[in-house]
Chain A
Amino acid sequence: MTFPWLTTLIALPALGAVLTALVPAGRGTLAKQVALAFSLITLIVGGLITSHYLFDLDLGVEAERYEWIPEIGASWALDVNGISLALIALTVVSTPIIALAMWREAEAEKRDPKPFFALLLAVEALTLVAFASRDVLLFYLVFEAMLIPLYFLIGMYGGPQRRYAAVKFLLYNLAGGLLMLAAVIGLYVQSIDAGSATFFLPDLVALDIDVTTQRWLFLGFMIAFAIKAPLWPFHTWLPDAVAEATPSNAALLTGVADKVGTFGMIALALPLFPDASREFAPVIVTLAVISIIYGALLAIGQTDMKRLIGYTSISHFGFIVLGVFALTGEAAAGATLYMINHGLSTIALFVVVGFMIARRGSRQVGDYGGVQKPAPKLAGVFLFAALSGLALPPLSTFVSEFLVISGTFLRYREAAIVATLGIVLAALYMLWLYQRTMTGPVRPEVEKTPDLRRREIAIATPLVGLILLIGFFPKPLVDVIDEAVAPTLVEVDADRPEPLAPVAEVDGDDDNEGTDQ
């Protein structure tokens, strides 16, 4: 048997979480160092696995499947394809950055940093399982279990309303998760009726489920994912959660953990319930467009920076869901890429806002003004993050937003047109946020704002680098994602829609066809 790469990838942060928790009390710095070290080792292993697929580096990474509860057909089944690979890469890259960003956040509230870092690694491990799992029960398990460390992260650290926010977060997601449990059970019973009880995803995808059942099961899964992602009108927990969580915790939540929701849509809901997906697609596309516009409009009206970024995320999640349910290859690839880019740009935004809050002690936009004078580097990074948030070419977010909108245009022209409005609004909320906080006369309270420190530069550099890198060279990543998206859409049986204008087919093998007169 070859080396179990994927299990190792998951075991590392899990082990790190346990070891961090076991660090003796009072040794906060040691706990942080242990957690950072484990997140870096995970990054290395994750990087190796990614390069196995991305650059054809042969390391022998392969699907793993071990029996777990054979009595009910559940197994520890892991595999990656382009979609999950991209998200695994996002997770392993983000965790050390977030770990560095939260370095001093616990102390600010006079709280023990040890659980903070242990929980971070626990979230990383569970998220990685969710992205890699090929067993529906296993996926459900981590989908739900992930709520607990996130709940404690929000509830134990964070702002004055953190308890309210944590409970709201948990109850929303738990309710969705339990509905999904009913759907998981329903799906499982389908497999029993078909002759073999299993939770193994490929076997379940192969099942032939009648349309009525598919509808109900699809709804069960989809509501859970729509709460997690979050899609309007299931979104109301998110602004509270990110406003009360510490900035880096908010980055972890929206940047990484919530991607499990959109990942579930494209990796589970579509292939498992193709007929129902087709049927419900117009409804979900409508909701996604509403999310895009609603999130953007509310973001414009916010006075709390973290809440503002929370609403921008709702808008961006709208784009991702739009891309998934447009059911075209281009849009789906764009949506997957969007998950990565939104992750990076949201983490960048939250992290920079975290820097500002650490200096000024306020998350209100109105308390800042003219910060770019005393802290030009901080302002520069903030501007960069904001531009990436509004999808300025050639930053990475542009590529994905373009793919999503052009892919959607092929099928839902009106939706694509309205969604474009979201881009305009994005420019408004981002640039206005920058203008109000960074430019203008220097407010007396921020006159002595220190500029970025070494640790903060170390956090910002990789984010800026990656956003630029993916923006300029999206091809390797897009290729890998395309490979995985194509079979998913074949499953849904979504043929390429007719081109809008009658253009002649240009085929690579036959050059003449297109130029014939």
Chain B
Amino acid sequence: MNAPNLEYAELAPLLTVFGAAVIGVLIEAFAPRRVRHPVQVALALLALLAALVQVILLAGTEVVGAVGAVVIDGPALFLQGTILVMSIISIAFFAERRLESGGDAFAPSASTLPGGEEEKVLVRQKRLQTEVYPLTMFAITGMLLFPAANDLLVMFVALEVLSLPLYLLCGMARRRRLLSQEAALKYFLLGAFSSAIFLFGAAFVYGFAGTLRFSEISEALTAQIGQEELLLTGVGLMAVGLLFKVGAVPFHSWTPDVYQGAPTPVTGFMAACTKIAAFGAMVRLFYVAFGGLRTDWQPMLWAVAIATMAVGAIVGLTQTDIKRMLAYSSIAHAGFVLTALVAADETATAAILFYLATYGFATVGAFAVVTLVRDSGGEATHLAKWTGLGKRAPILAGTFALFLLAFAGIPMTSGFVGKLAVFTAAVDGGATPLVVIGVVASAVAAFYYVRVIVLMFFSEPAAESPSIAVPSVWTTVGITLGAAATLLLGLVPGPLLDLAQAAATFVR
């Protein structure tokens, strides 16, 4: 038996991050505790930067590699680049050690009983752990592979590689440990189910097509007659798995709980990168493998898109916790992306790529701002605590307002151009009613973004108002990057739109 021939150059970004994750584990095992933090952060950042450089150098490559299981093409590279940039910013937030009096945002030992004696001892000893870095690197490896997968099985493996570390990361919050552990358990149970359903669907599709490769499935759609029920069941089940990951209704119920319970830097990372990777995989699966079946899956995605936009916008109105509000906002955004995905025309891919990038920057930035508003109980995430923030911390509140305005899609922010792009693709693809629902949902969602701005700027500060923590350079740089990108992509979106357009061709 011959060993398969791997395209090492094209797979380099993936392998770099994966290698760094493995080295990270070894560091955890062998390096003394006090040097672990700087070494892990440096290793993670270096590996991600190196991977980003490799992605940039690979630009324009169109290769089907790893014996056809992985494809490196425009969309894959664009998404990998986006994920890497978001990850670099997120790692900066992970590395923040000045905000929390205990050390950082993560539990000293996630496996101890919340509130137990052992935990108290560890907190007193100021024990800090660094296992988040290798875990995150594993998750990023999965995310990089997910949108590049060209094979049902590889796609499933990528899904698992990215999901499992995230389940763990969600349970690692230093404060409100029970909430965090509950989030992790919920995410794990529902995620495991959805992965299983995805696998089940893949099996059906394999049963129909007799192959796992996307291009061959696509050929089988035209060549094969009969057994369509097998195929359609398979497509439906796989869609469930992917819609779960992007947080679309009716598979969204985990989102608010997990976003709220997870350590906030992890929430930001997860909200941005998971969504980017999952939409990337979804676009490839539906366009490349099931493109010939679009008249069958379009009605389903129409319904899902409408429900997602409506629930995200309307239920978001009633939230009183900033992280839950942002969770519903992310659900609504998934709906907006779906409008373009439904359209399934040549402009849709570019629009989705651009939208995901703009959404990512605003999301990591917004969650990072949440880490800075604190009171004695940790982060002050209740909206009532945010009253009058604009008076006491105008720059911070202004930055957060910028992110909110971008979420609302106000012109001069990246969110507007993103919405314009996806809605244009949708109208072009004949989904005008979806766009009308989309703008109405945007108007409804705008209400809760604006409400926060009102609270921050027009209300007198509350009596027991939280303090604004002064972050170290890590968080400052991260938020600045997010805000700058949000503003810049709103004013001069041309270059990135160009890049997204150039990258929008799938290779079969």
Contact = CB atoms under 8 A, between A and B. Distances in A.
Nearest to B497: A71
A144 B458 contact: no
Interface string B403-440: 00100111110001101110110011000100110111
Contact of A69 (B446, B451, B458, B493): B493
Chain B: interface residue count, which band? 35 or more
B410 A171 contact: no
Contacts of A144: 410-411, 416
Given A140-B411, A141-B412, A185 B454 contact: no
A137 B438 CA distance: 18
Interface string A148-168: 100110011000001100110
B458 A182 contact: no
Interface in B30-53: none
B428 A192 contact: yes
A181 interface: yes
Contacts of A284: none
A108 to B, nearest CB: 17
Contacts of A141: 411-412, 416
Contact of B498 (A71, A171, A179): A71
B494 interface: yes
B442 interface: yes
Nearest to B419: A181
A148 B458 contact: no
Interface residues of A, number: 34
A170 B427 CA distance: 26
Given A140-B411, A189-B424, A179 B458 contact: no
Nearest to A67: B494
Contacts of B458: 155-156, 162-163, 166
Contacts of A192: 428
B488 interface: no
Interface string B146-187: 000000000000000000000000000000000000000000
A69 B443 contact: no
Contacts of A182: 423, 427, 432, 435-436, 438-439
Given A156-B457, A178-B439, A185-B435, A145 B424 contact: no
Interface string A177-215: 011011001101100100000000000000000000000
A72 interface: yes
Given A167-B454, A181-B439, A72 B497 contact: yes
A495 B4 CA distance: 77
Interface centre among A144, A152, A189, A192 (most CB of B within 10 A): A189
A272 to B, nearest CB: 16
Given A140-B411, A155-B454, A167-B454, 15 more contacts: A69-B417, A71-B494, A71-B497, A72-B421, A72-B497, A145-B412, A162-B458, A163-B459, A178-B443, A181-B409, A181-B419, A182-B432, A185-B424, A186-B432, A189-B427
Contacts, number: 93
Contacts of A181: 409, 419-420, 423, 439
A130 to B, nearest CB: 12
Interface centre among A140, A175, A181 (most CB of B within 10 A): A181
A142 B494 contact: no
Secondary structure at chain B's binding surface: helix, strand, loop or mixed? helix
Contacts of B498: 71
A171 B443 contact: yes
Contacts of A179: 436, 439-440
A68 interface: yes
Contact of B446 (A68, A72, A156, A171): A171
A148 B440 CA distance: 19
A294 to B, nearest CB: 25
B188 interface: no
A68 B494 contact: yes
A178 B454 contact: no
Nearest to B394: A115
Nearest to A188: B424
A141 B405 CA distance: 13
A38 B432 CA distance: 44
A167 B317 CA distance: 14
B405 A185 contact: no
B450 interface: yes
A174 interface: yes
Interface centre among A72, A148, A175, A178 (most CB of B within 10 A): A178
A70 interface: yes
B501 interface: yes
A170 B450 contact: yes
Contacts of A145: 410-412
Question: Which 5 A-B residue pairs are closest in the complex by CB-CB distance?
Answer: A141-B411, A178-B439, A175-B443, A71-B497, A189-B427
A208 to B, nearest CB: 18
A141 B491 CA distance: 10
B206 interface: no
17 contacts: A69-B493, A137-B420, A140-B411, A141-B411, A141-B416, A151-B450, A155-B454, A171-B450, A175-B440, A179-B436, A179-B440, A181-B409, A181-B419, A182-B432, A185-B427, A188-B427, A189-B428
B411 A185 contact: no
Given A185-B420, A189-B427, A142 B446 contact: no
B450 A142 contact: no
Interface centre among B428, B439, B454, B457 (most CB of A within 10 A): B439
Contacts of B497: 69, 71-72
A145 B451 CA distance: 18
Nearest to A158: B458
A188 B427 CA distance: 9
Contact of A148 (B405, B436, B438, B442): B405
B420 A167 contact: no
Contacts of B427: 182, 185-186, 188-189
B323 to A, nearest CB: 23
Nearest to A164: B454
Nearest to A193: B428
A163 B454 contact: yes
B297 interface: no
Interface in B249-269: none
Contact of B411 (A71, A72, A142, A156): A142
B200 interface: no
B425 to A, nearest CB: 9
Contacts of B454: 155, 163, 166-167
Contacts of B440: 175, 178-179
B447 interface: yes
Contacts of A137: 420
Contacts of A72: 420-421, 424, 497
